Amino acid sequence: MAGIALLVVLSGFLGEGWVPSGHPLAAWVLASRASDPVVRPAVFPGDLPSGAADGLPEGLVERLRSILEPEGSEVDGLGRAGAVLLAAAEAEDSASLETRAGLSLDAFLEPAGGLHLRERLSVWASSDERQPGGFTPFHEGAEQGRHLYVDWGFAAWHGGQFEASIGRIPQVWGPCRYTNLLVSENSPPMDMLRLAWDPAPWLAFTSFTSTLDSDSGTYLSAHRLDVSPYPWLGFGLSEAILFASEGLELAYMNPAIPWYPVQWNERDDDNAMLAADASVRPFRGLELYGEILVDDLQYQTEWGRPSRLGWTAGAGALTGATAITAEYTRIDRFVYSQKHPRNFYLHDGDIIGSALGPDCDRVTLGVSTAEIWPVTAGLRIEHARHGEGTVYEGYPDSLFSDDAFPSGVVEHSTGVALDASVYLGYGLEAHATAARRWIRNLGHARGMEGEETEAGIEAVARFGL
C-alpha cells in the first residue's frame, strides 16, 4: 500500500527533557548518547546528552534543544506556559481510498519554580479506524467512530535531589535503540505515581506504581537503580511486578524492598520480572549496550518448565553527524505471559515491554546522517523470526517438551525502510518515508508468502503560540 500525509503543526513550549514519541528527531537523542563523555541513567524521557553539540550540526542541536529546553512565555498570574497544536489530514491508497484527519493539543504550564504540568489531548476520525500520521500509535482500533483521547497528562515537582510526579506519564527504561524489554513505549502511557531520587552524580533511583485496568483492579509497580562506577560505564537494575488487587497493595508500592520474595511468600502468583542493562563507552563516539530480562528462571528443574528470558545486545556509533546502529534481540517463548490471564504483561492490549513479543528474535542494522544539514536521511534493514507462541497462550504448569526456538512453523520477515527529512527556515519541515517487507510462511502457514509496501510524505509547519 502507499500513503500520502499532509500535516500542519503549531508548536510552542513542549516541556523540559522530552522529545515526544514519533517525533522525527527523537532517534537523534539516543544516537547522541555515544558522544556523551559520561554514561547517564537510561530512563527516558531524558535530557540531551552534554556532548551532543561536539559532532552534530549546530542547526540539528538547536532544533533538539528547542524541544528539550524551550523558552516558555510568561503569563500573568500563571507563570511560564505554552502549547502545541497539531492538525493532520491524510489519504492512503490501498485496496480503497482511506481518509484520516485529527487535531491534537499539547499544553505546558510552570506555575512555580520546580512545578510542571503537562497535558496532551487528541481527537481524530478516519474511514479505516487508524490514526493519522503524527498521532501516537496507541489509538488503533480502540473503538469505532470519532476518537477523543488523553494521550498524557501529569504534574511533576522537582526539588533538589528529589522528584515526584502523578498522572498519565510516558516511560521508557533501558539504553537499547530499537526495543526495550521491561518498560517501553509500546503500550500507552500509564496512570501512575512516580518517585525519583538522585543522591549522587553516579547514582539514581526511580520507582512508580501505576494502574493498568481500574475496572479489574490490575496494577504495575516497577523500580530501578542506575549506578555509574566510572564515567564510561553504567548499569541499571530493575524489577517490575504486575498484580491484581481489590485495593492498593502497599507492599508493592514500597520502593525500598525487593518484591520477588514478597510475591513468592505472601501473594498468589503475581507476574514478577527482573531486568539488568549496561552501557559501555570504550571511547567517545561508540556505545556498547545490552539488556537482559528474567521473566522466569527455573532453578527447580524437577518441574520441567522452561525458563523465560529475553536479551538484547547492540552497538551505536556516532562519527561526525552519522549514526550507525546494530542490534539483536531474542525473546523466549512464554515471556510476558503467565498462567493467569489477568497477569499477562499487557496494558490496553499492548505488551508493556518489547513489541516483538515472545517466541521471536530480530537483527537490525541502521544508519542515519545529518552531514548535509538541514537534510537528514536514514536506512534501516531488519530480519525477524516469529514462532507460533504468543503472550496469550499462558504458561504450562506441567512438563513442556517442545524446546525449539522459535517454535512451530516460523514466520520469517525481512524489511527495509528509508526516510528523509528537510528542516527549512521559519519552522517548515518535510518528511518522506518508504518501506517494503517480504514475509515467508505468512501467518505460520508453511509455503505462504507475502509482501507489504508503504510510502508517505509529510509537510510540517511549527509556530509558537
pLDDT, tens digit (0-9, with 9 covering 90-100), for 254-312: 898 888 888 877 777 789 999 999 999 999 899 999 999 998 776 665 555 677 899 99
pLDDT of residue 71: 60
Residue 243, helix vs strand vs coil = strand
pLDDT of residue 446: 95
Q: What percent of the chain has pLDDT over 70?
A: 82
pLDDT exceeds cutoff 70 at 463: no
- Confidence class of residue 199 from pLDDT cuts 50, 70 and 90? very high
Residue 360, helix vs strand vs coil = strand
% helix / strand / coil in the chain, to the nearest 5?
10, 50, 40
pLDDT of residue 134: 66
Q: How many CA atoms lie within 13 A of 410 on its CB side?
A: 16
Question: Which residues neighbour 143 within 8 Å (Cβ) at sequence distance 6 or greater?
Answer: none
pLDDT of residue 11: 31
Q: How far apart are the first and last CA of the chain?
A: 36
The mean pLDDT value for 1-12 works out to 36
The mean pLDDT value for 411-438 works out to 88
Q: What CATH number was assigned to the domain covering residues 160-408?
A: 2.40.160.130
Cell of 238: 530493575
CA–CA separation, 25 vs 237, rounded Å? 28
pLDDT of residue 15: 37
Rank 16-20, 30-34, 238-242 by mean pLDDT and report only the highest. Answer: 238-242
Cell of 360: 521471536
pLDDT of residue 299: 63
pLDDT of residue 273: 94
Instruction: Please tell me which residue, 148 or 141, carries the higher pLDDT value.
Output: 148
Cell of 124: 481524530
pLDDT exceeds cutoff 90 at 230: yes
Distances (CA, A) of 392 to 52, 200, 340, 341, 387: 42, 42, 10, 7, 13
- Confidence class of residue 8 from pLDDT cuts 50, 70 and 90? very low
- Mean pLDDT of the chain, nearest integer: 83
pLDDT exceeds cutoff 60 at 401: no
306 and 334 in contact (C-beta within 8 Å)? Answer: yes
Model-level pTM?
A: 0.89
pLDDT exceeds cutoff 60 at 90: yes
pLDDT of residue 18: 57
pLDDT exceeds cutoff 50 at 1: no
pLDDT of residue 465: 60
pLDDT exceeds cutoff 60 at 14: no
The mean pLDDT value for 315-326 works out to 95
Of the listed ranges 112-116, 244-248, 350-354, the least confidently predicted one is: 244-248
342-387 pLDDT, tens digit per residue, is 899 999 889 999 999 999 999 999 999 999 999 999 999 999 999 9
pLDDT of residue 432: 84
Of the listed ranges 230-244, 252-266, 394-408, the least confidently predicted one is: 394-408
CA–CA separation, 386 vs 404, rounded Å? 12
pLDDT exceeds cutoff 60 at 246: yes
- Confidence class of residue 48 from pLDDT cuts 50, 70 and 90? low
pLDDT of residue 301: 59
- Confidence class of residue 160 from pLDDT cuts 50, 70 and 90? confident
Q: What percent of the chain has pLDDT over 90?
A: 42
pLDDT of residue 92: 62
CA–CA separation, 8 vs 10, rounded Å? 7
Q: Where are the domains of the chain?
A: 160-408
369: exposed, middle or buried (C-beta count within 10 Å: 0-12, 13-18, 19+)? middle
CA–CA separation, 323 vs 368, rounded Å? 5
The mean pLDDT value for 331-339 works out to 92
432 and 24 in contact (C-beta within 8 Å)? Answer: no
